[in-house]
Structure 1
Amino acid sequence: MKPYESYTIEDFLEDESFRKWVQGQGTQEIFWLSFLEKYPHQRDAFRQAEALVRAANVAEEWIPEKEIRAEVERFIEQVAGAAPHLQIGFSDDDEEPEVRSGFWKRWLIAAAAVLVLGAGIGWYYYQNNDLEPRIATADTSPPNLVTTRNDSDKPLKITLSDGSEVTLSEQSSLRYPSEFEDGARVVYLTGEAIFSVKKQGQTFMVHTGKVVTKVLGTRFVVSAFDEDRNITVQVQTGKVSVYVDKPSENEVKGLIITANQAAVFEKSANQLSKTVVENPEKLPDNPVESILKYDEVPLPVILRDIEKSYGIPVQFDADSFWTCKITVAFSDESMYDKLSILCKTVSAGYEIVDGQIVVSGQGCSK
């Protein structure tokens, strides 16, 4: 096993599996995503090496070789002071730099190119006892996105840089920046994932094809497999807005959905609608006791308790149903089972309309 607990920046850069993971090409996503949980003291070296690998992808043909070589010479002088063990120098024929590996050569040239262009990663060193490298991001263009794909047979947990957690379902992938910058926190999902978004001032946005889910902080599920007919967003806690990115003239532009509600985008019809989730769960702060016993209680009172328990609006004619006295004891029944029992008792019915429960019937005679 490699000595990860003592890895230096150089060790990370020379680790092929680490470089491939940063570039979204590796097969060890689970290991590197959980690396800092196991080795939290390695955070600085880990993050700096990650940024260096991204800089190494800069095309070295952008500027003339002569200018690149001049910048490499200046850059090597800085590196030599902080890491003399790198064994970097120029060959006798004065053509190109000699370094210990091909990757180091490409890294140095790319870094020099970035310096000349005045964009990308800015390099600097400062004195803190010994010289310690630090990296500042100067590029204002969108960063390269990390791609994590779950090819396993069980959910994969990802912790984003803002502390938000994503549980990625099987055969699903997520594209996201290694570090969120100022402005909205934006990720791109293919497949299905559960999002537990940490509440911050920045908006969190999930792009899934034409549908965008926008929140500040809550827990929700997005399902957007390419082969499925629909894209669905189901809210477990809190509130989210769901809208179609660049809608056509006849499309619904956006919806607000809350706990136990779902937004469904039908791909073939380009139609966005609101409904209730298949298995509503009681709210965590449910004000109604889990075991409910009613003795000759008006139906509207019971329906309001259901509304409070699940956070789903229930619409009915209170005057018509007020004379319907119900005696019943609920325990572990689902929300739909409770509604069915109540409706059968008073010869009524219910349906789901626009994310709400609508109960209708003749009511009870006085």
Structure 2
Amino acid sequence: MDFANSDLEALLKDETFRQWVFEPTRETDAFWQQLLDQFPEKRALVEKARAVLLGIDQEVVENFPDEEQVGRMFANVQDRIQSAPGSRFQIGWRWLAAASVLLCLGVWLYSKNRPATQYEQLIDQASVALLEKVNTSGTPVTVSLPDGSTVLLQPNSRIGYARDFNRQDKREVYLSGDAFFQVTKNPGKPFFVYADELVTKVLGTSFWVKAAEVGKQVVVQVKTGKVSVFARTDSRANEMQANRELEGVVLTPNQQILFSRDDIRMKKTLVAEPLPVLVQNFEFKDEPVSKIFAALEQAYGVDIVYDEDLLGHCLLTAYLSDEPLFEKLSLLCKGIEGRYEVVDAQIVISAKGCQ
């Protein structure tokens, strides 16, 4: 929600605002007080929205109307508004308040009846009390976990983790949305991220998890180190969580998993723009192509597959600098009259060979 430009309807629809009104915590109090300090002109609007919600909480919750009753109530308000004397712009606050109450009732009814999201199901199934961090701003927010790990939480994203995080046998975080994790290494306490249908297990590394509720894919991308990824529905999921080794689909830097929610399928591939993991000199003069490919493999942490018997004696002169990896490969393939493609997170080179 864009708080600076919010109106009554936006506040009534906002889930974090309703949570603050009905179930305030020290953290949510601090969050909303900070917003009000930043935008003091919104205090009157916030108080009005609180009054509407609390009025519903006190008078309506016990005998909450069904959808048919809400429809009749709304039609009644419409009739009253249309029959009110004067222009529609002269309608008093009581009619707007009534309409707002009905709006909020409809929102609440929808919230009450809609299926729980994967994130909500995971939170409900957690065996320990959780803390939750929500990013309602328009910019990324850094969340520091008790073990020293950090989470760069993107807008409209949230995480949940144990209140006594450091006392647990394993470090577990629940995610809805997108976040970049930098995990403090601790082999004795593996770190798990539960995001939609996927479980990501790490010992100490940095990686992205992208699991927006409205998206069709869940994506895990590795920047440094190694992670293993497996589906929560995998028959060996419990065993893979308990095992100290990394099992499932193991990802290394510049690799990613794309999990399709539609057909429940995982695909391992390279990220769109692989980044160097080591500084390397890419100036070669009459060097075997095998040496150049080896340098690229080391610099980017990727596997390059080619026919060594066919291409091993090819000599190339290449002066590469800041080009992206795939552009470097395109230039090299021109020199050997070949092409490359990405297959299962490997780069496969095809060429006719050298004369």
Deviation, 1:248, is: 7.4
Structure-2 separation of matches of 1:319 and 1:186: 48
Alignment-derived partner of residue 265 in structure 1: 259
Structure-1 separation of matches of 2:260 and 2:235: 14
Asked whether the equivalents of residues 30 and 156 of structure 1 are also in contact (C-alpha less than 8 Å), the reply is no
Structure-2 separation of matches of 1:288 and 1:29: 49
Structure-1 separation of matches of 2:155 and 2:210: 12
Alignment-derived partner of residue 184 in structure 1: 170
Decide whether aligned partners of structure 1 residues 281 and 267 sit closer, same or farther in structure 2, where only a CA change above 3 A counts.
same
Number of residues of Structure 1 aligned to a counterpart in Structure 2: 233
More helix by percentage: 2
- Residue among 208, 213, 231 paired with 1:226: 213
For residues 59-86 of structure 1, give each alpha carbon's deviation from its aligned partner in whole angstroms, at most 9, with x where no partner exists: xxxxxxxxxxxxxxxxxxxxxxxxxxxx
Q: Which runs of 5+ in 1 are unaligned?
A: 1-15, 32-140
- Residue among 148, 151, 170 paired with 2:155: 170
Deviation, 1:344, is: 1.6
Decide whether aligned partners of structure 1 residues 211 and 26 sit closer, same or farther in structure 2, where only a CA change above 3 A counts.
farther
More strand by percentage: 1
Asked whether the equivalents of residues 161 and 178 of structure 1 are also in contact (C-alpha less than 8 Å), the reply is no
User: What is the TM-score of this pair, normalised by structure 1?
Assistant: 0.60
Q: Which runs of 5+ in 2 are unaligned?
A: 1-19, 35-125, 237-246
Alignment-derived partner of residue 146 in structure 2: 161
Deviation, 1:179, is: 2.5
Q: Percent identity?
A: 35
Structure-2 separation of matches of 1:347 and 1:21: 65
Asked whether the equivalents of residues 29 and 148 of structure 1 are also in contact (C-alpha less than 8 Å), the reply is no
Structure-2 separation of matches of 1:311 and 1:282: 8
- Residue among 333, 340, 359 paired with 2:349: 359
SS at match of 1:191: strand
Structure-1 separation of matches of 2:130 and 2:185: 22
Deviation, 1:25, is: 4.9
SS at match of 2:180: strand
Cα root mean square deviation, aligned: 2.5
SS at match of 1:153: coil
Decide whether aligned partners of structure 1 residues 265 and 26 sit closer, same or farther in structure 2, where only a CA change above 3 A counts.
farther
SS at match of 1:279: coil
Matched, 1:146 2:140: no
User: What is the TM-score of this pair, normalised by structure 2?
Assistant: 0.62
Decide whether aligned partners of structure 1 residues 29 and 344 sit closer, same or farther in structure 2, where only a CA change above 3 A counts.
farther
Decide whether aligned partners of structure 1 residues 343 and 21 sit closer, same or farther in structure 2, where only a CA change above 3 A counts.
farther
Asked whether the equivalents of residues 164 and 196 of structure 1 are also in contact (C-alpha less than 8 Å), the reply is yes
Deviation, 1:322, is: 1.7
Alignment-derived partner of residue 295 in structure 1: 285
Structure-2 separation of matches of 1:280 and 1:158: 26
Structure-1 separation of matches of 2:152 and 2:25: 18
Structure-1 separation of matches of 2:25 and 2:32: 6
Structure-2 separation of matches of 1:261 and 1:30: 42
Decide whether aligned partners of structure 1 residues 21 and 358 sit closer, same or farther in structure 2, where only a CA change above 3 A counts.
farther
- Residue among 280, 298, 312 paired with 1:308: 298
